[in-house]
Structure 1
Amino acid sequence: MQIKDVLLTPGNGAFFYDDQAAIRAGASQDGFVYVGEAVTPEFKSIRVPAASLSVGLVLVDHTVVWGDMMSVQYSGAGGRDPLFETAQISDLTSRIVIPRLLDVDVSRYLPACTKVLEPVGRSRLPLAIEYGVSQALLRAAAHLQRKTMAEIICAEFDLPLPTCRVPVYCQSGDAREINVDKMILKSVDVLPHGLINSRRKFGVQGQTFMEFVKWVAARTRQIGRPGYHPVLHFDVYGWIGEEIGLEPQRIADFICGVAESVPGFTLNIESPADFGSTQAQIENYAKIVSILDGRGSSARIVVDERCNTLEDIRLFAEAKATHVIQIKPPDVGSIADTARAVLMCKANKVGAYVGGSCTETDLSAQASVHVSVATQADMMLAKPGMGVDEAFSIVGNEQNRLLAILNRRAIINVG
């Protein structure tokens, strides 16, 4: 079951790579462009069009299966890999990865990933390469075995075939109000993200953010269908800590106040603060979680920054330093490790959210759906892009198609 040839072709991500440090330092916007000098290494400007690299595996029957490599929107921030450079990634893939691909049995998914993605010396391959190549290998195994990618994951990890859908979470980008309306009209399970990534959007002592949260809850009641009751999930990019300080008690007090302003809703607060290192993040998030739980608050902490790799996820889950972990596939690396991360969260009774980035592609989003459904994650991100409609369609429709196939399989097997 060997690969006959490997194709590489450059592509586009669905959004832009942004210099988070420059934005956090106060870079202003002129239309869609950020004004000022870049701060994070490799960025030539604060906002850069997202690039991707597709890897195509030509199989023995001449079918070509694809995977897409890319980085996340805020590359180089919070311990992440640096900005994606297509030429550099293509060169490394050609020299190191392609020879391995041409000498592997792709019918066995996990062993193939292990062999193809092994480190070079003591250095791990760029996570973008791991992500894209592991998608292609998953599609290859699915094609050869005439199964869905989800069924391959279930077989490899000894999981039962899923029957339940995974809640979908949409992100608004800067067009907050319009996109919130779209989400409510489409009855999205979890909303709206909000992109609260600057002092202007967060406001003095968080007042601007607080008003936005209350508006989303009120708007949901106003235009949502009867009985519609989404989870409210806001990503504040560390701005609670930036604005009111890094004392866990004060952060917990603020979050409790936000939750109390929208009674009846479950409130997710993602990245309330950045404490500067993984260890500091674990210690202080654990304190915040403990305070919220002690008060019986409806608010839940979601970790993103400083929790990137499978090892990071293990540390947060075992320490109960969060209520929910965003498992960000391009930061985790191999999509097989995304599956491992979900199962690790479940084993430690921590919420598993398969996220990702607006910079991803249709192919990477579809592969993430199969892993999310196979492992029965608690929620998954509608991606790629920031437009709501396209991402919700790609992820939602892929999930519906997958569950229809699996339901038919179950009926046939019973019969």
Structure 2
Amino acid sequence: MTGTEITGVHATPGYAGFFFDDQRAIKQGARQDGFTYEGAPVTDGFEEIRQAGESLVVDVELADGRVVRGDCAAVQYSGAGGRDPLFQPAEYAPVVEGPVADELEGRDATEFLANADALEEMTVEGDRLHTAIRYGVSQALLGAAAEAAGTTKTDVLANALGTEPATEPVPVFGQSGDDRYANAEKMFVKGVPVLPHGLINSVEKIGENGGTLLEYVEWLVERSEELGPEGYEPRFHIDVYGMIGEIFGAPYDREEVIDYFRALEEAAAPYPLQIEGPMDVGDRADQIAAMVELREGLADAGVDVDLVADEWCNTFDDVCAFVDAGAADVVQVKTPDLGGIHRSGQAVRYCEGTDTRAYLGGTCNETATSARACAHVALATDAAQVLAKPGMGFDEGFMIVENEMRRTLARRARAGRTDTTTDELTADD
């Protein structure tokens, strides 16, 4: 037995950084009651429309006594848009400590890609493992490989994916939650490169004719120039959860819709604008067609607003389909939905050589452990942007992701694996 052999896999139910929300119930008009929602859930597995986010903490033991961790987590809107069902950790812990442990124990931890692929291909009683299990256990396998080799998770991933890692932090995308004004101001003060997400998930928040969102974008420009550091040039990225489709409807290349996007572009000037999930039409093929229709309409009209794929873009195959169709300027790689963490890296790589940029995203409902792991995916693949997570308070998620990247770049520079200058990179162990 070598010191790098996997000798144990353990699972402990825990909490995640936000909540599980029944997206279908909310879109159907569930009324918010303080922080919760009134009414009955409509998505299978939910007991309430909003319920506590949960995770499954996975420990992988090595023969020399070292223990590394990964966290199984699922997106806030679990069970929606073609995703796996609501993740219930107590139900899945025996799967991790049983069949998953049986598969991994005895393997050499340094063989990250082989171990992660074996996990990805596993079935239990004929079914693939829940994406959250593959996500969390693969994080632990990544950590084990890095520990065993005495290197960074970034280097392990870069070797597995055949990439040249980034030499500076990947631009972080801050998410505001419903506190979209105060949190945006925090982001301006800290000079966050991409912001604010906005959580525009109802007609009330976008306005019946889209006017409320236009006012918000104008406010973002004004406050960014008042509060941002010298030379600050933010990129605005707003997730509208299909609400533009809700208020305008198809076809999406008609004049009324294009004029609204032109108004958004003018409101954001002189800064670039990205709109995530402009519509949600119910399945992948129709969503791709609608996104292509809108993107081509914007291009023909000379409207420079980038579209971000979100709804119905969950798995690796989904990402490939959206990229191949030219359906988006930016595609979100939703890390918990891809399964194994290496699959997120492969999805980012699929965008190389295309006119679609890769946004390494995820969810507010992750953990600090999974967020740090994703920071290494972002560095290893030099993604276009990476989400600040977990939580909706902004500051904590930004700190976790940004500091993990800075710390890793500084460590790689000390080891001579990069020519990055570290004068402005502060380590945060």
The one-letter code sitting in structure 2 at the alignment partner of 1:29 is: Q
Please state if 1:43 is matched with 2:66: no
Q: Which residue of 2 aligns with 1:399?
A: 405
User: Whole-Å Cα distance in 2 between the matches of residues 177 and 413 of structure 1?
Assistant: 39
Classify 1:252/1:332 alpha carbon distance in 2 versus 1 (closer, same or farther; 3 Å). farther
Q: Which residue of 2 aligns with 1:338?
A: 344
Task: Pick from 140, 146, 149 the counterpart of residue 142 of structure 1.
Answer: 146
| SS of match in other structure, 1:50 | strand
The one-letter code sitting in structure 1 at the alignment partner of 2:308 is: V
In the TM superposition, residue 103 of structure 1 has moved relative to its aligned partner by 3.3
Q: Which residue of 2 aligns with 1:191?
A: 195
Classify 1:196/1:95 alpha carbon distance in 2 versus 1 (closer, same or farther; 3 Å). same
Please state if 1:4 is matched with 2:10: no
Contact 1:15 1:359 in 2 (8 A): yes
| SS of match in other structure, 2:232 | coil
User: Whole-Å Cα distance in 2 between the matches of residues 303 and 16 of structure 1?
Assistant: 23
User: Whole-Å Cα distance in 2 between the matches of residues 279 and 244 of structure 1?
Assistant: 20
Please state if 1:244 is matched with 2:244: no
> What does 1:170-185 align with in structure 2 at a 5 Å threshold?
170-185=174-189
User: Whole-Å Cα distance in 2 between the matches of residues 242 and 94 of structure 1?
Assistant: 44
Contact 1:97 1:117 in 2 (8 A): no
Q: CA RMSD in A?
A: 1.6
User: Whole-Å Cα distance in 2 between the matches of residues 215 and 169 of structure 1?
Assistant: 18
Q: Which residue of 2 aligns with 1:163?
A: 167
User: Whole-Å Cα distance in 1 between the matches of residues 379 and 417 of structure 2?
Assistant: 19
Q: Which residue of 2 aligns with 1:317?
A: 323
Contact 1:13 1:50 in 2 (8 A): yes
Classify 1:297/1:133 alpha carbon distance in 2 versus 1 (closer, same or farther; 3 Å). same
In the TM superposition, residue 122 of structure 1 has moved relative to its aligned partner by 4.9
Please state if 1:112 is matched with 2:118: no
Please state if 1:58 is matched with 2:64: no
User: Whole-Å Cα distance in 2 between the matches of residues 249 and 311 of structure 1?
Assistant: 26
In the TM superposition, residue 209 of structure 1 has moved relative to its aligned partner by 1.3
User: Whole-Å Cα distance in 2 between the matches of residues 193 and 158 of structure 1?
Assistant: 31
User: Whole-Å Cα distance in 1 between the matches of residues 102 and 228 of structure 2?
Assistant: 54
Contact 1:161 1:406 in 2 (8 A): no
Classify 1:411/1:132 alpha carbon distance in 2 versus 1 (closer, same or farther; 3 Å). closer
The one-letter code sitting in structure 1 at the alignment partner of 2:360 is: V
Once the two structures are superposed, residues 295-345 of structure 1 have per-residue CA deviations (whole angstroms, 9 ceiling, x without a partner) of 332210001110000000001111111000010110111100000000001
User: Whole-Å Cα distance in 1 between the matches of residues 289 and 258 of structure 2?
Assistant: 14
Q: Which range moves more in the overlay, 151-160 or 134-143?
A: 151-160
User: Whole-Å Cα distance in 1 between the matches of residues 165 and 26 of structure 2?
Assistant: 44
Contact 1:210 1:258 in 2 (8 A): yes
Identity of counterpart residues, as a percentage?
Answer: 43
**What is the total number of aligned residue pairs between the two structures?**
414
Contact 1:8 1:55 in 2 (8 A): yes
Please state if 1:280 is matched with 2:286: yes
The one-letter code sitting in structure 2 at the alignment partner of 1:24 is: K
In the TM superposition, residue 413 of structure 1 has moved relative to its aligned partner by 9.2
Task: Pick from 317, 330, 333 the counterpart of residue 327 of structure 1.
Answer: 333
In the TM superposition, residue 100 of structure 1 has moved relative to its aligned partner by 0.5
User: Whole-Å Cα distance in 2 between the matches of residues 365 and 187 of structure 1?
Assistant: 20
Q: Which residue of 1 aligns with 2:424?
A: none
User: Whole-Å Cα distance in 2 between the matches of residues 26 and 296 of structure 1?
Assistant: 35
In the TM superposition, residue 412 of structure 1 has moved relative to its aligned partner by 8.7
In the TM superposition, residue 411 of structure 1 has moved relative to its aligned partner by 6.8
Classify 1:44/1:2 alpha carbon distance in 2 versus 1 (closer, same or farther; 3 Å). same
Q: Scaled by the length of structure 1, what TM-score is found?
A: 0.97
Please state if 1:233 is matched with 2:211: no
Q: Which range moves more in the overlay, 270-279 or 219-228?
A: 219-228
The one-letter code sitting in structure 2 at the alignment partner of 1:282 is: I
Contact 1:163 1:406 in 2 (8 A): no
Task: Pick from 96, 105, 117 the counterpart of residue 93 of structure 1.
Answer: 96
In the TM superposition, residue 48 of structure 1 has moved relative to its aligned partner by 0.5
The one-letter code sitting in structure 2 at the alignment partner of 1:264 is: P
User: Whole-Å Cα distance in 2 between the matches of residues 196 and 371 of structure 1?
Assistant: 28
Q: Which range moves more in the overlay, 111-120 or 43-52?
A: 111-120
| SS of match in other structure, 2:54 | strand
Q: Which residue of 1 aligns with 2:227?
A: 223
Contact 1:72 1:358 in 2 (8 A): yes
Task: Pick from 362, 365, 386 the counterpart of residue 356 of structure 1.
Answer: 362
| SS of match in other structure, 1:210 | helix
Flag structure 1 segments of 5+ consecutive residues without an equivalent: none
